A and B are shown apart, each in its own frame.
Chain A
Amino acid sequence: MNFRMMLATAGRVLDQLRHDRRSIALILVVPALLLTAVYFLFENEALPAGVPRTFDRVGLMMLAIFPFVVMFLVTSITMLRERTSGTLERLLTTPIHKADLLFGYALAFSVMAALQSLVATAVAYWIFGLDIKGSPGLVVMVAVVNAVLGVALGLFCSAFARTEFQAVQFMPVVVVPQILLCGLFVARSRMNGFLEAVSSMLPLTFSVDALHEIAGNSTATAAMWQDVGVMASVVLTVLVLAALTLRRSTP
């Protein structure tokens, strides 16, 4: 692994993104707009005293889910282009190590994800008064880890798509089940045994769990770090799997 090649790759990916102003605007603005929609959706709910607002629960989880979905899409399309345009094959004839390439991608998109979740978290806190006990910094951290998970899965899935159309179709397969089962719609304790078991194997579940810990405690808990640790190891595993899909030579 060569640090300079990794940084050069991250710089190149960000440079490509920089030329695409519309995508940057969509990445930064859309989550904030959707949060606004969620806020007004629950604006008039009647709550008994002491019960937290739905926005505090759902809005918080959305902060973690946006970067996952967006980075999955952006990465799988970018990587697919790299595969079909011949630039990937060309890169692999140079001394670059596969890890430099993959971590370069992960680094570039986590920078974007950090910006995205800073905007979304700021909107949630300052405009809509998101009320949680823990620190917003931890929320941003979980969002970035989620984004890197999206990047890793996107890099991996791009190997199984031949066209951009196919790549987009991986979203219902990979992303939607995780959103359905992560505890956003139905608490995991109220799922049937099978779904709960599946849910406990999906990485997004751990980040939602981590957010619950952050929402309920004023300091970082051991359970939260454990969730983040599980996420990080899933990310590394998927990145290794993605590296296996990069072949320097064809049979």
Chain B
Amino acid sequence: MGSQNAPGPASGLASGSGNGTAGPSVESAGLHVRRSGTHILRGLDFTIPPGRITGLLGPSGSGKTTLMRVLVGVQRISAGTVHVLGRPAGHPRLRHEVGYVAQSPSVYTDLSVESNVRYFGAMHGRNRSDAAEAIAAVGLEQLAGRKTGDLSGGEFSRVSLACALVSGPRLLILDEPTVGLDPVLRAELWDRFRVMADAGTTLLVSSHVMEEASHCASLLLLREGLLLAQLTPAELSRRGGSEDLERAFLNIIRSAKSGVAP
């Protein structure tokens, strides 16, 4: 998508502090989230570098989705601070600049692919050709006129992705985008993410499949609401003592457990 980096008409003015290369895209300090008595995130400190793919990895229930919802601004925080592109998470100005794809595809099943993408594009002042570009980016050109509800699972989730791409966000937050996709499509999507990152978009991608970690420049390892480590895939295999990232992750979990006094 050519228009990726061009700041939207509203974002060019006061975004100096959070602008691309200047500082980290996300800065979190002492982030806690409690929901109805459950302590979901328990004091997270981390930064997400701009213009790169950061992987958010951890077993189910580790708090990945909650953390992503915090960054998008739909989950309130109980304590700590989170800054996204230089502003507090959930700031109205961020709605133009942060794209979010939830785990379950949130699109209108009774509309065509094109109508869905054009509608979400309209929220950002994007036009028909931006929508066509976003649809092409996820490889659904042939199906643009089809009703979304009639598509297969993998096609369906790509419609949801296109609805986020259409706004050309500076920060794109993707919750398990590759679940249910075949290996060919998964590889294509990761290529697409890399192209976007090279063009300056910051991506945060969650996954519970450790192989996918190798596609990321930086990894956040989450477990039971705690940040186990922030490292590169190479550091992960070194610290976990295995080339197999899944095994390395398990090793780090085990050593973290034994390191904590009972």
Q: Are A251 and B76 in contact (CB under 8 A)?
A: yes
* Most chain A beta-carbon contacts within 10 A, residue among B72, B100, B119, B124: B119
Q: Are B167 and A248 in contact (CB under 8 A)?
A: no
Q: Are A12 and B108 in contact (CB under 8 A)?
A: yes
Interface-lining segment among B90-98, B176-184, B189-197, B215-223: B90-98
Chain B 88-117, CB-CB to A under 8 Å as 1, else 0, gives: 001010011010101010111111000100
Tell yes or no: B73 within 8 A of A by CB: yes
Q: Are B111 and A16 in contact (CB under 8 A)?
A: yes
Q: Are B123 and A12 in contact (CB under 8 A)?
A: no
Minimum CB–CB distance for B219 against chain A, Å: 25
- Write the chain B residue with the least CB distance to A17: B110
Given known contacts A8-B119, A8-B123, A85 and B106 CB-to-CB distance under 8 angstroms: yes
Given known contacts A12-B115, A15-B115, A94-B167, A86 and B104 CB-to-CB distance under 8 angstroms: yes
Partner of B75, one of A87, A91, A92, A250: A250
Q: Are B102 and A90 in contact (CB under 8 A)?
A: yes
CA distance A202 to B193 in the complex (A): 56
Partner of B74, one of A8, A15, A95, A248: A248
Tell yes or no: A45 within 8 A of B by CB: no
Q: Are A93 and B108 in contact (CB under 8 A)?
A: no
For B92, the chain A residues whose CB sits under 8 A away are: 95
Chain A 1-40, CB-CB to B under 8 Å as 1, else 0, gives: 0001100110110011001100000000000000000000
Tell yes or no: B153 within 8 A of A by CB: no
For B119, the chain A residues whose CB sits under 8 A away are: 8-9, 11-12
Tell yes or no: A99 within 8 A of B by CB: no
Tell yes or no: B125 within 8 A of A by CB: yes
Tell yes or no: B147 within 8 A of A by CB: yes
For B106, the chain A residues whose CB sits under 8 A away are: 85-87, 89-90
Chain B 232-252, CB-CB to A under 8 Å as 1, else 0, gives: 000000000000000000000
Residues on A lying within 8 angstroms of B by beta carbon are 4-5, 8-9, 11-12, 15-16, 19-20, 85-87, 89-96, 248-251
Q: Would you give 8 A-B contacts (Cβ < 8 Å), ordered by A? A: A8-B123, A16-B110, A86-B104, A90-B163, A91-B120, A94-B167, A95-B96, A249-B90
Residues on B lying within 8 angstroms of A by beta carbon are 35, 72-76, 90, 92, 95-96, 98, 100, 102, 104, 106-111, 115, 119-120, 122-125, 147, 163, 167
Please give me the 9 A-B residue pairs with the lowest Cβ-Cβ distance, nearest first. A86-B106, A8-B122, A94-B123, A90-B106, A95-B95, A12-B119, A87-B106, A16-B110, A19-B110
